[in-house]
Structure 1
């Protein structure tokens, strides 16, 4: 964000920053109060602050922002060289004397990006150390079910399945999220083509093979069986689809304070549940999770476009259309994004592709709403 009481300076900084690679302008503000209020609501990595902001003290503003946001980098932009020494008690990233050149600004932004990357790396490394210290104390499993099924332990790497049915049994019990699955229902779903007597034998064999595969990773006791039910204990596991749904449930609304978290949740959804695996019993749950993801992703795109985060909105809108090219709402969002970016060529090409798909796959034309919106946007 840029804080300066001179409108001409704000205009000049907006022009220079908009041409600087890797920069997204969060806000152009004219007072300390506005800056403090904005930073309290929205994430900011870098602040350009004039030392004299009308009646406000830029140094005092910098100290206030630094107290509230320790990770914020500050650059003073001013006509007054004499304040340089006073400014260093807030440890600014840089001190630029007006007039500001594009080259000087680009150097400062590059330095800020390098500092931010170092902070992120240090924080990530520290987090990894803490996680490693915790997980090394006992065996645990990481279970990835979105876009297939991949399971690995901290003790022995990837789990190697003895048979396809033992893997399917594991996947089936996962959907119960640590609760018991009735034996009779398990037989019907996992062994639908077997007679009851023979399917019971096959189930016992799959249970034995599953336990054997898990025992190599110190997780033999994860599978609990009884005469009438089976269950997987998930207390030492991280399951991606369970984590995705739990984090998704936290978003009643998307706003500046949870924007980054919302984007992180969207990125968790890397594909559909047990994608490309022929598990008929998983179809309903797969469709439910897909619907949850798509509804959330569309909300997120609309928020990002309204907030001026067009590039991020574009990435998610493209992902939605790639998942289902016939989804009208996803196409509408992509059209809107292309229009904001003034990319008429891509907008027209995307609309033609959508029109051709509808005709070829369904034998219909785009809806009146779609046609009207397209004409207005173009």
Structure 2
């Protein structure tokens, strides 16, 4: 894995380079004290990871990261700084990690191991393609180094949704009359069946054009979708969750890698009402997992990393009170008063708008004690 280091302090830059040279699997191919020079080099060479100081003259690490991510969204960004208050901005830029100076070799090695694990997870385990349902419905084909997304042009929106519906019920019989009631409720039975058969034909034709060998078997009264050897991201993710070892310093990167594989809620972009139950089930599993990992980080006093995870949890599920309260307490530990106040304000607005409620008494009492203001 090729790395570039950017820090305006030469001694710190040399120290970080030395630490990384002692870690297997990473190759430092550039060090820069001038962020403008670093940006020019990154534009031309596209490294795998960029280690950035935050506070630099002329161009800050945050500004440099924004430019880099616009150019190459897949590049891994790691902030290395003496200041914890930039953790939220790092989260917004989807930074992979946030290291506080002075950097310890063990902590740096853990970050590198996470890169290696993420890369391994992204590699195709076999030549089998994959269907993805996190955030949106996509098809991915294996390449030399990683899966690549295939551009799919569905004949109709109905064909796309019916395929997603059969995929949702994979390996199980789905009655044709139920499909008619859901997809063509206002059409008489004869025309409805014609529409159904035509749409199934369109789906099969689309799958064939993609080289995706998913079988949709038709029986007298029902269809059955069989994935055959095609993988499904939801199933692969759930297998990973089920097989995880208990969280320890040695297994932390495995847990964090599975957090990252959850790219968004189940079929979020599609807006299918029939998928709401599964979306909530998978989201609950992910929230439970990310909370478990965040609490482990809090126990290790790695507060900036815990802040990043709780912010991700809040982004995926903004209507639960716990993430706001935990972030208030973490920002307090980081002595970031503005962010504590901002989280309480956001919580108050969210509860009023969504539920016509106020924060629970425990949260109000904590905030009153912290702020010295009686609410």
Same-fold call, TM cutoff 0.5: yes
CA contact (8 A) 2:214 2:230 kept: no
- For the residue of structure 2 that corresponds to 1:216, the secondary structure is helix
How far is 1:122 from its partner? 12
What do residues 89-131 of structure 1 show as CA deviations (whole Å, max 9, x unaligned)?
xxxxxxxxxxxxxxxxx99989x979x9699679959995xx4
Gaps of 5+ in 2: 1-10, 27-100, 144-148
Whole-angstrom CA distance in 2 between matches of 1:289 and 1:119 = 23
What do residues 225-266 of structure 1 show as CA deviations (whole Å, max 9, x unaligned)?
222222222232222222222222234743333221111111
Say which of 124, 129, 137 aligns to 1:141: 129
1:287 alignment partner in structure 2 = 280
How far is 1:204 from its partner? 0.5
Whole-angstrom CA distance in 1 between matches of 2:13 and 2:174 = 54
Whole-angstrom CA distance in 2 between matches of 1:363 and 1:113 = 45
2:265 alignment partner in structure 1 = 272
Whole-angstrom CA distance in 1 between matches of 2:129 and 2:165 = 16
Whole-angstrom CA distance in 1 between matches of 2:317 and 2:196 = 37
Going from structure 1 to structure 2, the CA distance change for 1:258 and 1:191 (only over 3 Å counts) comes to farther
CA contact (8 A) 2:136 2:266 kept: yes
The alignment status of 1:312 with 2:305, answered yes or no, reads yes
Compare relative contact order (CA 8 Å, sep 6+) and give the higher one, 1 or 2: 2
2:208 alignment partner in structure 1 = 215
Say which of 221, 234, 257 aligns to 1:241: 234
Whole-angstrom CA distance in 1 between matches of 2:289 and 2:244 = 9
Say which of 221, 235, 242 aligns to 1:228: 221
Say which of 127, 152, 158 aligns to 2:140: 152
2:62 alignment partner in structure 1 = none
How far is 1:318 from its partner? 0.8
Map 1:1-378 → 2, pairs under 5 A: 124=119, 128=123, 131=124, 134-135=126-127, 140-154=128-142, 157-219=150-212, 222-251=215-244, 253-378=246-371
How far is 1:377 from its partner? 4.7
CA contact (8 A) 1:224 1:230 kept: yes
CA contact (8 A) 2:117 2:253 kept: no
Going from structure 1 to structure 2, the CA distance change for 1:209 and 1:350 (only over 3 Å counts) comes to same
1:55 alignment partner in structure 2 = none
Alignment RMSD: 4.1
What TM-score does the superposition give when structure 2 sets the normalisation length?
0.62
Going from structure 1 to structure 2, the CA distance change for 1:125 and 1:333 (only over 3 Å counts) comes to closer
How far is 1:208 from its partner? 0.4
What do residues 287-325 of structure 1 show as CA deviations (whole Å, max 9, x unaligned)?
221222222222221121112232221111112223343
Going from structure 1 to structure 2, the CA distance change for 1:295 and 1:194 (only over 3 Å counts) comes to farther
CA contact (8 A) 1:148 1:276 kept: yes
Going from structure 1 to structure 2, the CA distance change for 1:142 and 1:108 (only over 3 Å counts) comes to same
How far is 1:185 from its partner? 2.8
Whole-angstrom CA distance in 2 between matches of 1:243 and 1:357 = 34
